[in-house]
Amino acid sequence: MFHRPVVRGRLATAAVALGLLCTLSTSASAGARAPSPPRAHAQVTTVTSRAGGITALSGYTIQSTAKVTDPASAVSSPGYPASGWYPAGSRSTVLAALLAAGKYADPFYSTNQQQIPKADFQVPWWYRSDFTVADTAERTYLDFSGVISAADVYVNGRQAATAADVAGAYTHHELDVTSLVRSGTNTVAFRIEPNSPNSRLTMGWIDWLQPPPDENMGIVRDVLVRRGGPVALRDVHVVTKLDVPSLAAADLTVKAQARNDTGSPVTATVSGSIGAISFDKSVSLAAHEARTVTFTPVDAPGLHLASPKVWWPAGMGGQPLYSLDLTASAAGTVSDTAHESFGIRDVKAPLNSDGARQYSVNGRKLHIKGGGWSPDEFLRWDRTYVEDRLKYALDLGLNTIRLEGHIEPDEFFDLADRYGILTLPGWECCDKWEGNVNGGEAGDKWTAADYPVAKASMAAEAARLRDHPSVISFLIGSDFAPDATIEKIYLDALKAADWPTPVVAAASDKSSPVSGSSGMKMSGPYDWIPPNYWYAKREGGATGFNSETSAGPDIPTLDTLRRMMSQAELDTLWKNPGSKQYHRSPSSTFSTLKLYDDALTGRYGAPTGLTDYVRKAQLAQYENVRAQFEAYGRNATDSSKPSTGVVYWMFNSGWTSLHWQLMDRYLDQGGAYFGAKKANEPLHVQYSYDNRSVVVVNNRHASASGLTARTTLFNTDGTQKYDKTVTGVTVGGDGARSTALTLPSSVSGLSTTYLARLVLSDSAGREVSRNVYWLSAKPDTLDWDDTDWYYTPTTSYADLKGLGTMAQAPVSATASTTSSGGTSTTTVTLRNTDTGRTPSLLTDVHLVDTAGKPVLPVQWSDNEVGLWPGESVTLTATYRTADLHGSAPRVRVSGWNTPERTLPAS
Which active-site residues does the annotation give?
A: 479, 548
Integer Cα distance of 26 and 790 in angstroms = 32
b/e map of 366-393 (b: 16 or more CB within 10 Å)? bbbbbbbbbbbbbbbbbeebbbbbbbbb
- DSSP H/E element including 257: strand 249-260
Residues sharing a CB contact under 8 Å with residue 481, sequence separation 6 or more, in sequence order: 437, 487, 505, 506, 508, 510, 511, 512, 515, 518
- Is the peptide bond prior to 565 cis by the omega test (within 30 degrees of 0)? no
Burial of 282 (0-12, 13-18, 19+ CB in 10 A): exposed
165, 172, 268, 269 from 293: Cα distances, Å: 28, 22, 11, 10
Angle at 440 between CA 434 and CA 445, to 5 degrees: 45
When computed from its CA atoms, the radius of gyration of the chain, rounded to whole angstroms, is 29
795 exposed, middle or buried (CB, 10 Å; 0-12, 13-18, 19+)? exposed
* Phi–psi pair at 34, nearest 5 degrees: -65, 135
Residue 48 DSSP one-character state: P
For residue 497, the one-letter residue type is A
Which backbone phi and psi does 425 adopt, to 5 degrees? -80, 160
Count other C-beta atoms under 10 Å from residue 139's C-beta: 22
Residues forming beta bridges with residue 685, ordered by sequence position: 696
H-helix or E-strand spanning residue 270:
strand 266-274
* Cα–Cα distance list, 828 to 223, 251, 296, 678, 868 (Å): 48, 51, 57, 18, 17
CA-based torsion, 317, 394, 626, 367: positive or negative: negative
Handedness of CA 194, 196, 201, 205 (dihedral sign): positive
Sign of torsion, CA 278 284 286 290?
negative
d(CA 149, CA 154): 16
The CA-CA-CA angle for residues 186, 191, 193, to 5°, reads 160
The answer to whether the peptide bond before residue 301 is cis (omega within 30 degrees of 0) is no
